[in-house]
Amino acid sequence: MRSYSIQEINEVINGVIYGNTSQSITATEQLEKATTSEISFIGNKKYEKYWSTSNASIAVVNEDISIEPGENRAFIKVKNADLAMSQILALFAPPTPIFHNNIHKTATIDETAIIGEGAKIGAGCYIGPKVEIGANTIIYPNVTILDESTIGKNTIIWSGTVVRERCHIGSECIIHPNATIGADGFGFRPCTEKGLVKIPQIGNVIIGNGVEIGANSCVDRGKFSSTILGDGCKIDNLVQIGHNSKLGKFCIMAGNSGLAGSVTLGNGVIIGGSASIKDHTAIGDGAIIGAGSGVIGDVPAGKTMLGYPAVEARDALKQWATLKRMACAIKK
């Protein structure tokens, strides 16, 4: 079991130590559950009240925390406790699944595929014709990567993922279990003779560098041209990204949210959980769409939108307050 002194931990996060403890730390835990050998954190003043009843010996805290650590306990004060804890969690992270051989004997790899140096491919994977996989990329068991797709360097693709033909994933990405990259977009048109006619989806998906896509999420291929996710986008579990949508850099989409076809997101857009965005809608740089909102029109850069249909946040709050007053008046 790995253990660290408070001085060794502080060498990683470069904070300021307040108080003193000789307790070695063997794990991380939230305040309410922590034992004396576990380190916790306080990222907001509203959680200060839990420190007195916590058993943690050390907490990483924001600089504005006003309480004292107490006897044989210590704080490490930093500018951002959440970011500091991410570094500490990396210290205690358990090892990833083991590959005894870089290429498992049950993996099926087409002879025309190009596998980069140090890449690892697990049991039951299928790597199709003319696929290219970058150096040190890890493909966990039972992943399917179809014809002419490319995967960059140092990317991790977890089990059950399917990457359809001609799709491209950048370097330093993480694709979580059972994600689907490049399934057909939802394209049908009414036909008097046949009912609904399927519109062929002959485009692809292009994913930039440093992108993370959560479990069971889907990124549909374009009807023509590409569905695009810019560098650094972070996509939660159970997210739907429709065909020909284009995301700028560093966008965030929380769980159960979805983009219909041909939606455009600027850089740094945040889409809250279960929010829905209508097709052919453009959302400007830095805009925020609140959880559960339904966007049916373009959103200017920097705006925060709430409600269904979504309106500017301050207008939504006024509407809700008015409805509340009306409801209270009716009860009287």
Q: Burial, 147: exposed, middle or buried (Cβ in 10 Å; 0-12, 13-18, 19+)?
A: middle
- Show contacts of 237-244: CB within 8 Å, 24+ apart: 237/176, 238/214, 239/213, 239/214, 241/217, 242/185, 242/186, 242/279, 243/184, 243/185, 243/186, 243/187, 243/201, 243/203, 244/185, 244/203
Give the whole-angstrom CA distance, residue 273 versus residue 288. 11
Count the neighbouring beta carbons within 10 Å of the beta carbon of residue 3.
12
CA atoms within 13 A on the CB side of 175: 34
Contact present, 227 and 219 (Cβ < 8 Å): yes
Query: Does 100 participate in catalysis according to the annotation?
Result: no
Give the whole-angstrom CA distance, residue 248 versus residue 321. 35
Q: Which of 168, 176, 243, 280 is catalytic?
A: 243
**Chain position carrying tokens 């993480």:** 174
Residue 305 three-state SS: strand
What b/e sequence results for 88-126 when a residue is b if at least 16 CB atoms lie within 10 Å of its CB, and e otherwise?
Answer: beebbeeeeeebeeebbeebebeeebebeeebbbbeebb
Tokens representing 293?
A: 């909102």
Question: Would you call the peptide bond into 309 cis, given omega within 30 degrees of 0 as the criterion?
Answer: yes
- Which residues belong to the active site? 243
